[in-house]
Structure 1
Amino acid sequence: MIKTRIGAVLLAAGLLGATPALAQTKVGSVDTTFRLLGANDRVVIDRYDDPDVPNASCYVSHAATGGVSGSLGLAEDPSRFSIACRATGPVAWPEKLPDKQRVFSQALSVFFKHLEVYRLLDREKKVVLYLVISSRLKEGSPFNSISAVATTPTAP
């Protein structure tokens, strides 16, 4: 009975606390630390296709904690990640989008920490920027990484 309640609370917390990532595809992972019990620690690479900017895809690598707690989804993954965004076809300048918008979010712990990707627009240079941060602050500012996608010039 107690295990059922704990499981229900953890499931509810996971569903309520996590914002689902849009158009996420797991590309692969590489084990980094062997764990005798549970999954190994690893670096995971996911692809996020921007739903509002066709042909813009971001590849995000992040550390995933293994072991028993990681296998059960209870471990807090480290705030270590990188982002590389690319044009996978012609990218039109997104005129009607806001200058800054959160476009993806992925839970890195059961309750509090998320990996978040923001889209920013450099209107002067017609470049779409993507910033990945951790929602948990570390020593005053979040870990972060940035990437840019140039748009395809339109004919005059």
Structure 2
Amino acid sequence: MKHLSIALGLLFALAATSHAEEIGSVNTEWKLTGSHKLVVEAFDDPKVEGVACFVGKPERGGIAGAFGVAEEVSDVSIACRQVGPIRFKESVPLQEDAFSERRSIIFKTLHVVRMVDRKRNTLVYLTYTDKIISGSAKNSVTAVTVDRATPIPVKD
């Protein structure tokens, strides 16, 4: 029973992840079985219309990368921008994962956390990776200021 609940929890976590759109990539190291590269992906904030985040991340090539079993490194960067009128689809918590993506078969996940800075009426986005047992302090942060005429609806 314990194993079943762990498996169901992992499946739920995988199903709950959002999908990003690849914008482009550059090769950083040529490999016969597939090059290592830097990839830029975009994702739209699922609760905030008019905000898109662009995440730069390395992807391993080689045999392990080709089969999707390589554990990706934790070096990620982020830039979020207003790309249209900002509208909130629903109230947002002061802090939550806006996007997440697996970076290895099971153990590593990339997170983009949306935080609300009420004082400055600003959405702050932090990206980092974690593992089931330990994570990395490598991170990147960006912010999108929301016009004062549009207060951020915070879910308390």
Please state which band the TM-score falls in when normalised by the shorter chain.
0.7 to 0.9
> CA offsets per residue over residues 23-51 of structure 1, 9 Å max, x none?
52111111100002x21000011101001
SS in 1 for 2:79: strand
TM-score under structure 1 length normalisation: 0.80
Which of 30, 47, 51 aligns to 1:34? It is 30
| Structure 1 gap segments, 5+ residues each | 1-11
Verify the 8 A CA contact 2:47 2:90 in the aligned structure 1. Answer: no
What amino acid does structure 2 have at the position aligned with 1:26?
E
Cα 1:20/1:72, change in 2 over 3 Å: farther
Which of 105, 110, 113 aligns to 1:110? It is 105
Verify the 8 A CA contact 1:100 1:118 in the aligned structure 2. Answer: yes
Cα 1:40/1:108, change in 2 over 3 Å: same
TM-score under structure 2 length normalisation: 0.80
Verify the 8 A CA contact 2:39 2:56 in the aligned structure 1. Answer: yes
Cα 1:114/1:57, change in 2 over 3 Å: same
User: Do structure 1's residue 124 and structure 2's residue 119 form an aligned pair?
Assistant: yes
Aligned to 2:53: 58
Give, in angstroms, the shift of residue 87 of structure 1.
0.2
> CA offsets per residue over residues 47-99 of structure 1, 9 Å max, x none?
01001011110000001010011000011111111000000012247882110
| Structure 2 gap segments, 5+ residues each | 1-6, 151-156
Verify the 8 A CA contact 2:56 2:78 in the aligned structure 1. Answer: yes
Moved more, 50-59 or 17-26: 17-26
User: Do structure 1's residue 46 and structure 2's residue 41 form an aligned pair?
Assistant: yes
Matches within 5 A, 1:6-155: 16=11, 18-19=14-15, 21-36=17-32, 38-92=33-87, 96-136=91-131, 137-138=134-135, 141-154=136-149
Q: Whose strand fraction is larger, Structure 1's or Structure 2's?
A: 2
SS in 2 for 1:51: coil
Instruction: Name the CA distance, whole Å, in 1 between partners of 2:69 and 2:58.
Output: 15
Cα 1:94/1:149, change in 2 over 3 Å: farther
Count of residue correspondences:
139
Instruction: Name the CA distance, whole Å, in 1 between partners of 2:62 and 2:19.
Output: 28
